[in-house]
Each structure stands twice: as structure tokens, then as C-alpha cells.
Amino acid sequence: MDVFLWEQHCCLPLRPTARIADLARYPLGSYLSVNVGYSGESKADSLALLDLFRGEALADSRFRLVERFADIGAPEVIALAFDLEDSAPLEGDLDNVELFYGLGVRSLLPTYNYANAAGCGCLDTVDTGLTAYGKDLVRKLNEVGMFADGSHCSRRTGLDLSTHTSVPMIYSHSNFAALHEHPRNIDDEQARACAATGGVIGINGVGIFLGCNDPDARAERVTAMADQIRYGVDLVGIDHIGIGSDYSFDGPQFNEEINENPAAFSDAYTKWGPLQWTPPEDLLGESDVPGLDDLLTDRGFTVAEREAVFGGNFARVASQVWRD
């Protein structure tokens, strides 16, 4: 596959043992957004992870830290930025958005699965949407130039994001509930509202969100991703679908956390057995299963359309939203 890859969300272990070098499984020339915290991390925790990841990236010539949009796309390096999967690391201080932006964080979602000070999560039974603080957070994200991300948020919180943002919003790693019903997947109204802002929905490769979580179902997961992309393009148009595979280099750690703290995830996560992901090699056709590029070709996507999905769409909205 020769197209540029923009991976809007992947995960290293949120531990000091994490190694940036593991990200070299993605091809040179790619852009990666790597998680540095969600609801369990404090500001100090996420800053420590950023210090670790940035230091290792600076010492490894295969990576370039993203300070401005122009840092993306060089064929000899992987461009690296970061994201937060919850507003908890802000610790209620919106000035911390600017702090994290300066350290390379380019995407933030208000809530991870359950309600917090900013709004409701996708696993909440009562959905009241964004709070007043959450609406202030969206305005601050717009001002600083950071993506407002609806993944893991409740339906109403996601719709409120689309209402209150003044620039394109995203769903960094969210699939369509119309193809597989799961509380983490978004409905058609959410997708249309995101697209109406000019935003992009990143399709993920997580087994329980695709409906194929068997450990041996590697090919089925990539096929399901292609089906999700086809559905999304038919629903909102080619300009609004991208890739956020959510591949977890911390898979064993994450499955361990689910087992030890099931109440934080609900049976929508726990009843399927250990979660399975789509690794870069399967996504990109570098293994023994058909890659996403070939599967999209089989579904009638042109070269230009595949380039838009794999990287062009997220690159376009980043050029509009990011400050530099």
C-alpha cells in the first residue's frame, strides 16, 4: 500500500515500561496520534507519559514530534502527536488545554465511557449531554486549536459537541451502530452531525466494536472495517471517513484492567472475552490476511477515494483546526 496513513488513535501502555520504538511497526511517512491518558490519569500522570514518549521520540531518528502541521508527511519519518481520551487530566483547569497542546496533544475527548465534569459517556444510562463546563471546554479546544473528539462520549454529548464547536469535530475511533449495535458505536444522526461541522469519523479495528472478536478472526476484522468504511461513505460522503484503528500495544494491560475492574466497563466490554485488535500489519496488508487497501479497491473505491480515507481527510481537518 502506497497511500499516506493518518492513524488518528493508537495506544501504548500507560506505564513507564512503554517504548516508542514499538510504533515503528507503522510505515515511515505515517502520522500517528498516541494516547497519553484517559479517566484514570491525573495531570501529573499524563505529563510524565508525555515526557517519556517525547524523550524517546527525540532520541530515535525514525520519529518526528509534531509541533506544526508542516511536520507531517516527510517520507523518512513517522510524525508523532498525542491525544487524551478524557478531560480528567485537565483537572478542571481549562488553561491546561494550552499546556498539553504545547507538548504535542492535538485531540481531546470530554468523557471516557462514564459521566464526569464535562458530560456523559457512552455507558451511562442517563444522558444529559455536555455540562456548562463541557461547553466551555469545547470553546477552549477551538481557541487553542485542538480537535474536539466525540469517541467514548454519550450520544447527546456527541451531538452537543457538533452544536457547540465552531470548527470541524471528529470521532477519532468510532464505528457505526447500524452495522453492529454496541454502546461505543455511533448512530447515523451523530455521524451526520459530525460531517455537518466538516469533521471526520475514524473507523476502528476493535473486535467487540466490529462484531468479530474471536482471536482467529483477523481477516474478518479487516473485512468488517472495510464494510464500516463503505457504510460511512454512503451515509456522509467520502470527505468524512478516516482511520483511527485504536490498535493497542497495551492489549494485555488493557484486558487485565477490564478483568480487575469490570464495573468501569460494563458487560458490553466484558462478555466477549479478551478484546482483540487489528494490528498495523493486518490493516496495511503486510501479513497473511487481505489488507484494507485491497478490500476497499474490491468495493469500488478509486485511488483518490482511498487516499482520502487513509489520510487525506484527517489531514484536511487538521489543517483547518490546529493552530500552526
Range 6-321 has CATH code 3.20.20.140: yes
Q: Cα-flanking dihedrals φ and ψ of residue 318, to 5°?
A: -65, -40
Mean pLDDT for 310-316 is: 98
Residue 262 has a pLDDT of 79
Mean pLDDT for 108-127 is: 97
Mean pLDDT of the chain: 97
The residues, ordered by sequence, that sit 6+ positions from 26 with a Cβ below 8 Å of its Cβ are 5, 7, 32, 78, 280
DSSP at 149: B
Residue 3 has a pLDDT of 79
Cβ atoms within 10 A of the Cβ of 319, count? Answer: 11
Q: Which long-range contacts (CB under 8 A, 24 or more apart) does 193-197 make?
A: 193/158, 193/159, 193/162, 193/163, 194/150, 194/158, 194/162, 194/169, 194/170, 194/236, 194/240, 195/236, 195/237, 195/239, 195/240, 196/162, 197/162, 197/165, 197/167, 197/168, 197/169
pLDDT at 14 over 80: yes
Mean pLDDT for 296-304 is: 97
The tens digit of pLDDT for each residue in 199-227 reads 999 999 999 999 999 999 999 999 999 99
Is-contact 277 283, C-beta < 8 A? Answer: no
- Pairing state between β 241-243 and 200-203: parallel
Residue 198 has a pLDDT of 98
Residue 239 has a pLDDT of 98
pLDDT at 1 over 70: no
pLDDT at 233 over 80: yes
- DSSP secondary structure string, 159-181? HHHHHH-SS--EETT--BTTTS-
Q: pTM (2 decimals)?
A: 0.97
Residue 12 has a pLDDT of 97
What are the extents of the domains in the chain? 6-321
